Every structure is written in structure tokens, then in C-alpha cells.
Amino acid sequence: MDMAVKELARFGQLVDLIYEGATAPDRWTRDILPSVAEYLGAPSCIMYSWLHTPQQGGYFFLHGIEQELVDLYVQKYYDADVWKIAMAAKNLYSTGVIVSGDDIVPRKQLLESVFYKECLSHNRNMVQLLTGIVFGSESATSLPTTCSFFRGSHHPDFTEMDRTRLRLLLPHLSRSLGVMQRLRSTELTLATSLAALDRLPSGVLLLDRLGYVAFANRAASAMLEAGDGLYLRKAAHAAEHKELAGHTLSTSLTIRTAIDATLSVDPYAAQHFSKSIVIPRAARPGSYALQFSALGSHNEFGGDGGAYAAIIFIADGSDPAPINTGALRESYGLTAMEARVAATLVERASAKDVAAALGVSPNTVRTHIKSIYAKLGVDTRTRFVKLMLGISKP
């Protein structure tokens, strides 16, 4: 029983630490990843957005791995990575997947590969792999991210206990990273002040430790003042406080349940950040999508005595950022159809979704996207979205 209590306490402390990274990205390398790696018995680890470089809005956080080795990997051996190739072939880049290197590539094959001999062998602790997909390639709201842990051949093999521990950590990693990504501005800096939150296009609420709304940015205030499905009401037992409510009793209970679960930070029951709750509008078609996360005890937003304990992001699914298609045609030379495809692509996750929305074939959409990217001078979806949001209508 003592061991179980110690394990729970250790895990809870680690979860609290993970949430500190939501508003302080420098902590991932400084103390969060080292602590997670120690918990999993791994001397080396990397957490990064594998489809986006830092120049494209992505990030790399390292522990026990030299930056020079990462540079060598990116420049020469990315396409020779036998683990990456095998995972892609087996469609394993999906949110929540936990896999070991030995599951996908026999160790003998790894050790005989050019990838190992010329790249990984520079670090004796990078023979065994245990990786978790924090955000998969299918994610529409967060940068695809993987968190990988390594051991050497002189270390014991990763066990089922190690897999279980990583599986329990993934939802917390996703919530903290999800908040970090949503708080980043187009300049790739982190919005860590109330004034900066006001400049974000999505709705943001900060909650105190009792779950009452202590701050609403401008976008959230506009949504709540409209009262079309979401609004603020006086708390039943504390009239000086405001709480988030829905148009019906059931939606209000759904919101309150999500808030209570977020504030409790149950280390074994957290939902993944990509799991949002949907609140229908009351007066017109559409809905709001709400994403919840706890904040670290020492988050950067301040407040009275660290009063902000949780954050809610509100996306208005029925009111997407209006894209100025006229500017696309006049300034960038897009055709009328290309402008429609570009505007739709901002809100849709794939060419298939765009095709369904516009009633054309996916191949037609892909052809248009290739032409759009060329005319806009972008080469990644991240850059495309940033440019498009920059020419949204006022």
C-alpha cells in the first residue's frame, strides 16, 4: 500500500509540473522533460512537432540529446529514419498511440541500418525507443507532436509498466501543449498577459480555483454578451462571482462537470486536450466548441495570489474568420474557385473535407491547393493559415 501511495503522489507531482509548461515553454527543457524521462527510466528524450520546424511554427524540446545530433538528423537522416518509415507504413501516427521501437523494427535491423550507424550511434543511449503520439497527423487544432524516450542497449527493455505510465501522461502532455500552442501569436511568441489574451482571435476564459470566471478576453466577452447558447450568470451561493452557463440545464451541467474535472486535475482521469465539448447555439444554427485545461500553480497570468487555476478556449463553429476572397483574387491572382477553396481550407482539416463542402472531387481540390500555395508563396499549411488569417475581413 505504501508503494501505491508513493506512486500516486509522485505521479500527481509530475502532472502538476507538466501544466507549468503551458505558459512557460522554457520549463519543458529545464525541468519538465527531465522529470518525465526520469519517471520513465529513460536517459534521453525528445518532444517535437515532427511535421513543422521551429521556423514553421513548430518546436523541439530535448533532454539528454545534443542539438548537433538533432541538426544532423534533420539535415541528412530524416528520410532514412527506419522507425519513422515503419510507423508511417503502419499508420501509427494517430493521437494516443504508444509504441516501442522493437514493436515496429527488429533491433537487429535497426543496428544494421545507415540511420543507426551514422546518426543514432553518436548517442549510446539511443537504441531502444518508447514513443507516444501527443497529437496525431489527423489533428485539426494542434500541431502533430510526438514524445519519444530512449534507452541504450545496456539498459533494461521498456516494460508494460513503462507503457502504462506514458499512456497516463499523454492526456496531461496534450492539455499543457495544447494550451501553449493556442496561446502562441502569429509572431510565435507566447501570450502570457491579459492584454495579450485580448489580441487572440479565439475566446479565452480564465477560471479561479472555485471554477468561477475571473477573466474573459474580448472575443469571449462578445460571445457571452450575445447570449446565444453561452452566457455568464451570478453564482448561486456567491453572487459576487460569475460562472459560465449554457442555454439549458443540461448544457450548464455539462459545462460544470467539465470545469470540475479540470480543476480536480485527477492524474488518472484527464481527457485529451483535443476532446472538446460542443454547446449548441440557442437562436441560430451552429455551436461552440470548448476546450479545457488546468494551469500550473505558477502560471504567467498573475492574478491575486496566483488566482487563475484553469483556462477555457471557446471556438465559434458557426462564425469562422471571414476571409477576404476579393483580396485573394486581386492581390494574389487566385481564380474565383481557388479563392473559394482557400477560404474553405482555413476551416477544414483536409482536401477531402474541402471537397465535401464544395461539392467537387478531392483530386480537384488538391490541384487547386497546389496552385494556391504557389501563388501565395507558402509551402506549409501553417504558413498558409497565418497568411489567410492576416487577410481576414475586419
Distance CA 67, CA 7 (A): 33
Same topology for domains 2-183 and 194-316, yes or no?
yes
Instruction: Work out the angle at residue 357's Cα, subtended by the Cα atoms of residues 354 and 362, and round it to the nearest 5 degrees.
Output: 45
Q: Nine-digit cell at 217? A: 478576453
State residue 12's pLDDT score: 87
Number of Cβ within 10 Å of residue 241's Cβ equals: 17
Contacts 24+ apart (CB under 8 A), 196-203: 197/301, 201/321, 201/389, 202/313, 202/314, 202/315, 203/312, 203/313, 203/314, 203/315, 203/316
Distance CA 349, CA 41 (A): 37
Least Cα distance to 35 among 121, 133, 149 occurs for 149
φ and ψ at residue 138, rounded to 5 degrees: -85, -5
CATH fold of the domain at 194-316: Beta-Lactamase (3.30.450)
CATH fold of the domain at 325-390: Arc Repressor Mutant, subunit A (1.10.10)
Give one DSSP letter per residue of 356-376, joined into a string. Answer: HHHTS-HHHHHHHHHHHHHHH
Superfamily of chain region 2-183: GAF domain (3.30.450.40)
Low-confidence stretches of the chain (pLDDT < 50) are 1, 186-188, 304-305, 393-394
Give one DSSP letter per residue of 61-122, joined into a string. Answer: EEESS-HHHHHHIIIIIGGG-HHHHHHHHTT--STT-EEEHHHHS-HHHHHTSHHHHHTGGG
Q: How many Cα atoms occupy the beta-carbon half-sphere of 347 within 13 Å?
A: 18
Read off the pLDDT of residues 10-48 as tens digits, 9 standing for 90 and up: 888 999 899 988 888 889 999 999 999 999 999 999 999
Instruction: Work out the angle at residue 331's Cα, subtended by the Cα atoms of residues 328 and 332, and round it to the nearest 5 degrees.
Output: 65
Domain boundaries, the chain: 2-183, 194-316, 325-390
State residue 381's pLDDT score: 67
Number of Cβ within 10 Å of residue 333's Cβ equals: 11
State residue 333's pLDDT score: 86
User: How many residues are present in the chain?
Assistant: 394
Cβ(101)–Cβ(110) below 8 Å:
yes
Distance CA 353, CA 143 (A): 18
Coil, strand, or helix at residue 241?
strand
Read off the pLDDT of residues 323-364 as tens digits, 9 standing for 90 and up: 677 777 877 888 888 888 888 887 665 777 788 778 888 888
Distance CA 249, CA 262 (A): 20
